[in-house]
Structure 1
């Protein structure tokens, strides 16, 4: 099923996207059913081969990683191996507290900037930001003081009553009875493209689940992949957002996952909490 992005001029900088997706056509149940049928039509032998292939690759990767200290793995001459530090987790705890429910007090270093960007990405692309009262708290906490007024106005214009109606929410950002709006973002990795003690630019590669879980939804929950670029500034003893923009991808090939029911998705959103993300 093809999906159209709901675009918002200027909010996300270059592309101006939200992760909200509006499907073509009608009927949430038909959508879920069609996707289930497509998955179910694949042969079990193909799934078995896929699983075996993945297991073999994982075993090979673990074996390769465990070779790290022996002589056979040591390169000679000018040969260079990839630097694992670029993608390996640091293991450092990012922060000790929260402000307005959002992690705060990040370290004034590159790792702190990446941790801040990851957590801010979760808040910027969340169901909470569609609620006017909560949106004000989020914007005032995340952004540098001289951008707050401008961005509050821009967010309010973007997430207008008409927009909220399109995604099945009332003017307070609440779902209709029997439905659950989902916008759960998960950072996959971060990359610093520029850094100083006063400013940093960080790219956050994200995935997540977005849409409305419910029997009659026209906006079923689906997966998405995108990259947020956040320009950060050190202000008031923490990293704050100066501007940000979004672009699609990088996105992997979809797997053979069984599509869950709307009730299962809604229950998962209610039962599973989020994380504080660290570089």
Structure 2
């Protein structure tokens, strides 16, 4: 599920992810047996293995420490670890309306807030009118809530929900499970001040309908969300946000699961609270 086109919510904003429809290419389960981008030749396999070996060797070399013979130029060219290393800060201990709350007033806290809010804003719950009102109240600054609630309600209209197989309450039809999950891959702060911050969250996600008669089976996408945050009443809240596609890796060679397997996984596996 993605908001699309790198824009903040607006009339008709919310749909590129939801409205993508992949029709089944053959009989039987729309999920079953489908594979993406197969690599069939042994030469390709040998090449891939060779690249992996070289990468492992390069990583091991880059991580060597304590070599006093290294030149100053060599030391300066090593990548910074801060972008991927854990900060050591404890995750938030509180939740408000099921959404993590109480983030630290520093760059790491802003990144944690952005990651958790990205998960919430691109979730199946945002399609449910009763839950959407609470999400807007918990995630956004007070002076933006009314306008954003109106835009969300117009974007996720009864007609829109019907087009993706959901009723007016955002529920899938009997025998189907609607899926929209977001997984942050990484975060970075692009600007920071005492009461404001801008953070980018690189995400992958799942969206679609798991069901044997679905014409919109669960698929994945990659996108980056940019969230402008404001420090209000002791916590980071969203002032505005936008989204763009990618960066996306080359599709893998995974065999698609059946509709039943996908629906079961969504029901059995819970999500996370993200801390930087």
- Whether the 8 Å CA contact 2:210–2:218 is kept in 1: the answer is yes
Q: Distance in 1 between matches of 2:142 and 2:66?
A: 50
- Whether the 8 Å CA contact 2:185–2:202 is kept in 1: the answer is yes
Q: Name the SS for the 2:179 alignment partner.
A: strand
Q: Which residue, out of 142, 146, 161, partners 2:143?
A: 146
Q: CA deviation at 1:278?
A: 1.2
Q: Distance in 2 between matches of 1:47 and 1:63?
A: 25
Q: Distance in 2 between matches of 1:6 and 1:232?
A: 18
Q: Distance in 2 between matches of 1:182 and 1:217?
A: 12
Q: CA deviation at 1:87?
A: 2.8
Name the structure 2 match of 1:188: 185
Q: How does 1:66-215 map to 2 (within 5 A)?
A: 66-73=63-70, 75-76=72-73, 79-215=76-212
Q: Distance in 2 between matches of 1:60 and 1:220?
A: 39
Distance 1:56 1:72, change over 3 A: farther
TM-score calculated relative to the size of structure 2: 0.87
TM-score calculated relative to the size of structure 1: 0.87
Q: Which residue, out of 20, 23, 26, partners 1:22?
A: 20
- Whether the 8 Å CA contact 2:22–2:216 is kept in 1: the answer is no
- Whether the 8 Å CA contact 1:21–1:210 is kept in 2: the answer is no
Is residue 2:247 matched to residue 1:250?
yes
RMSD: 2.9
- Whether the 8 Å CA contact 1:231–1:244 is kept in 2: the answer is yes
Q: Which moved more, 1:257-266 or 1:117-126?
A: 257-266
Q: Distance in 2 between matches of 1:48 and 1:77?
A: 33
- Whether the 8 Å CA contact 1:233–1:240 is kept in 2: the answer is yes
Q: Distance in 1 between matches of 2:176 and 2:217?
A: 11
Q: Name the SS for the 2:267 alignment partner.
A: helix
Q: Distance in 2 between matches of 1:122 and 1:210?
A: 13
Q: Which residue, out of 259, 272, 275, partners 1:275?
A: 272
State the aligned residue count.
Answer: 273
Q: Residue by residue, what CA displacement relative to the aligned partner does 1:104-151 show, whole Å, maximum 9, x if unpaired?
A: 000111110010000000000000111111111111000000111111
Distance 1:46 1:96, change over 3 A: farther
Q: Distance in 2 between matches of 1:34 and 1:72?
A: 54
* Greater relative contact order structure (CA < 8 Å, 6+ sep): 2
- List runs of 5+ in structure 2 lacking aligned partners: none
Q: Distance in 2 between matches of 1:160 and 1:194?
A: 35
Distance 1:51 1:141, change over 3 A: same
Q: CA deviation at 1:91?
A: 2.7
- Whether the 8 Å CA contact 2:30–2:212 is kept in 1: the answer is no
Distance 1:176 1:63, change over 3 A: same
Q: Distance in 1 between matches of 2:275 and 2:80?
A: 19
